[in-house]
Structure 1
Amino acid sequence: MFLYHYFDNTIGSFVSLSDLPVEEAKLVLDKIKKNKPHSQSSKRHDNYVEYRRNCENIIRTEFIKQGGTVNRLTPHYMVVEHSPWLSTWFENSAYIKIPAMEFDLKTVSFTYGDSMPTFSPIVNDGKEYRRKVYTYDEILLIIKKYGLPQDWNDDGKHGPERYIEAHIWSDETIDRYRTGR
């Protein structure tokens, strides 16, 4: 299995709003909306930063309950295998592909689909993978059962899940792949 990180090549990889204080993150998001109006990030709502922080708190808490190791307050985001849709998110799109086995898998959690709709109170379709955080071994079982969302729902017509999100709770492997810093 490979984990992919998509990013704007003019900014660099593994740069996250979540690493900034809330007000600074909002200013950066406003700047993106103004300067990169065709990027996916420019379409985020005004309370996105707060929603993202809440979601990260849920993921972190649930992962720790499962025995996961958390070495960062917020995760680095990746996805399982290539996502054609994510590859269109940035005006100067690039990606990094890392074998999952390069990570200490005790520091990687997963959601089947993007974590925001996974934990959204608005999405109430009863699917077993809603509101759940998975370990590596658990996500393999879910993939075996349902496949990769990008294979059956890349266009989003069958629900919000378009990829499997991976949350990297350590800088160890990530630091070897950072660009643009």
Structure 2
Amino acid sequence: MYLYHYYDKSIGPFMNLSDIPIDEAKKVLNEFKQNKPNVQCAGRHVEYMETRLYYEELIRNLFIKKGGSVTRNAPHYMVVEHSPWLSTWYENSAYIKIPIEEFDLKTISFTYGDSHPTFSPKVDDSKEYRKKVYMYDEILAIIKKYGLPQDWNHDGKFGPERYIEVQIWSDNPINKYKR
């Protein structure tokens, strides 16, 4: 299994809005809206950062309850395998591909689909993977049962899940891939 991180070449990999003060993160998002209106993050809603921080805290707490190891307040984000859709999110799209063997599995959690719709009260379809955080062995069972979302829902016709999100709760091995 490979984990992918998509980013804009002009910004660099693993630049995390959750690592900066919320007011600064909102300024960054506003700059995208003004300077790059066609990129995915330019369409974020006004309360996006508050929602993101809320979901990150929720995921972190659920992950810790399952025995996960957390050394960061906010995760680095990746996805399981290649997502053609995510590769369209940036003007100068690039990605980093890292084999899962490079990670301490106790430092990574998974949501089947993006964490926002996974935990959103607006998505209430009773699918078993809603509002759940998975450890590595658990996500393997879910993948075996449902497959990769990018294979069966690449265009989003069948719901919000278009990839499996991975939350990396450590800077290892991430730091060696940063510029």
Q: Which residue of 1 aligns with 2:38?
A: 38
Mapped to 1, the partners of 2:28 and 2:90 lie a distance apart of 15
Read off the aligned partner of 2:92 and give its amino acid letter: N
Deviation, 1:135, is 0.2
Read off the aligned partner of 2:131 and give its amino acid letter: R
Deviation, 1:76, is 0.1
Report the secondary structure of 2:56's partner residue: helix
Deviation, 1:120, is 0.1
Report the secondary structure of 1:166's partner residue: strand
Mapped to 2, the partners of 1:101 and 1:61 lie a distance apart of 24
Q: Which residue of 2 aligns with 1:54?
A: 54
TM-score normalised per structure 2: 0.99
1:10 aligns with 2:10: yes
Deviation, 1:172, is 1.4
Structure 1 residues without counterparts, runs of 5 or longer: none
Q: Which residue of 2 aligns with 1:106?
A: 106
Report the secondary structure of 2:171's partner residue: coil
Deviations 1:14-39 (A, max 9, x none): 00111111111101110111111111
Mapped to 1, the partners of 2:154 and 2:58 lie a distance apart of 26
Deviation, 1:12, is 0.1
- Structure 1 runs of 4+ with >6 Å offset: none
1:67 aligns with 2:67: yes
Q: Which residue of 2 aligns with 1:124?
A: 124
Q: Which residue of 1 aligns with 2:160?
A: 160
1:69-84 alignment runs, 5 A limit: 69-84=69-84
Report the secondary structure of 1:139's partner residue: helix
Structure 2 residues without counterparts, runs of 5 or longer: none
Deviation, 1:137, is 0.5
Read off the aligned partner of 1:77 and give its amino acid letter: Y
Mapped to 1, the partners of 2:37 and 2:92 lie a distance apart of 12
1:140 aligns with 2:136: no
Mapped to 2, the partners of 1:65 and 1:30 lie a distance apart of 35
- Aligned residues: CA RMSD: 0.5
Read off the aligned partner of 2:75 and give its amino acid letter: P
1:175 aligns with 2:163: no
Read off the aligned partner of 1:126 and give its amino acid letter: S
Read off the aligned partner of 1:107 and give its amino acid letter: T
Mapped to 2, the partners of 1:35 and 1:104 lie a distance apart of 38
Number of residue equivalences: 179
Mapped to 2, the partners of 1:91 and 1:37 lie a distance apart of 10
Mapped to 2, the partners of 1:70 and 1:131 lie a distance apart of 19
Deviation, 1:138, is 0.4
Deviation, 1:124, is 0.3
Deviation, 1:40, is 0.2
TM-score normalised per structure 1: 0.98
